Amino acid sequence: CQERCMHQGTLLLLVGQGSKLAYKTSHLASLTRNGTIFAFDLSEKRLRLMETMLHKAGATGVQCIHQDFLTVQPNDPAYANVTHILCDPSCSGSGIISRADHLVGKPKDTAERLDKLVDFQERVVLHAMSFPSVRRVSYSTCSVHQAENEDVVAKVLAKQTSFELVPVLQSWHRRGWTVNDVDYSACVRALPREDRITGFFVAVFERRDTLQSTSTALELGGTALSATPTPTSSQPLQSPMQPPSSARSPAAPTQATTKRTTSGKQGATPSSQQPAGKRVKAAATIDEPGRQGGRKRRKRRQASKSGVTKYR
């Protein structure tokens, strides 16, 4: 979803676990501009943890809401401009390699527990698709079970025909499985042992009228309303979570650095960010080794001319 929500619009973010919620919310906050992120969590403890982590990350434009997402009214005017929804509901966590339940004697995921999780996951995605302005819905789990992944996608598509799957992370080699002669290669998978990372699954749904309007606009040589808008400025957009490019590039020193190295020689006015005395002292310290080295070389040359073999 990130290409479609980088510059404008409103993003509704739904995640069910505190640290994951904070990481994904802060990342999306660094990509969105002039938008609002609504982060829902049913656990007040996890919500407080998320708020703390977002504050440390400097994320802005985020509203943390302590509420069950399934009770949110899609027609609420507060969410009238919601265009993208990221769903990462509770799952079995069977793809988390650090859990190692089989080594500590914990019971494996039972059929009853999986059935409850699958039912909840399906309801979350369908509820996200009921928001009137939503164009894209992302569904992800950290599970390797087909029941929580491809099977949930199949059930959602069977009940909500106005959405269809779109390819996601096409550079990733492991794709969704083929189930009941239906190809889910538009989705992505990761397996802990084969890929040596945490197992996960991601599927992205897009509203059909959005796809049709994009295709029509491209055929006419125009730009679809749902496509990513082109920045009007000639300068590349930068993430608010990152420093300016000039500060990251070693080949182009910043203005503060230039003033610091020249303030002692040219009398340049020091920046207000640092006291003038410290800046002049820093410039003198930089030049001092060169002055001392020059004096020693001159004394050595004079001593050599006078016949002294060793100078201390």
For residues 138 and 125, is the Cβ–Cβ distance under 8 A?
A: no
The CB density around residue 2, as the number of other CB atoms within 10 Å, is 15
d(CA 312, CA 304): 12
Neighbours of 49 (CB within 10 A): 17
| Rounded CA separation 279/229 (Å) | 44
| Collapsed DSSP state (helix, strand, coil) of residue 62 | strand
Contacts of 262 (CB under 8 A, 6+ apart): 268, 283
Which amino acid type is present at position 256? A
Give 29-53 as a DSSP string.
Answer: HHH-SS--EEEEES-HHHHHHHHHH
Helix crossing, 44-57 with 18-31: angle to 10°?
40
Return the percent helix, strand and coil in the chain, to nearest 5: 40, 15, 40
- For residues 61 and 118, what is the distance between their CA atoms, to the nearest angstrom? 32
Distance separating alpha carbons of residues 179 and 256, to the nearest angstrom: 60
Catalytic residues: 142
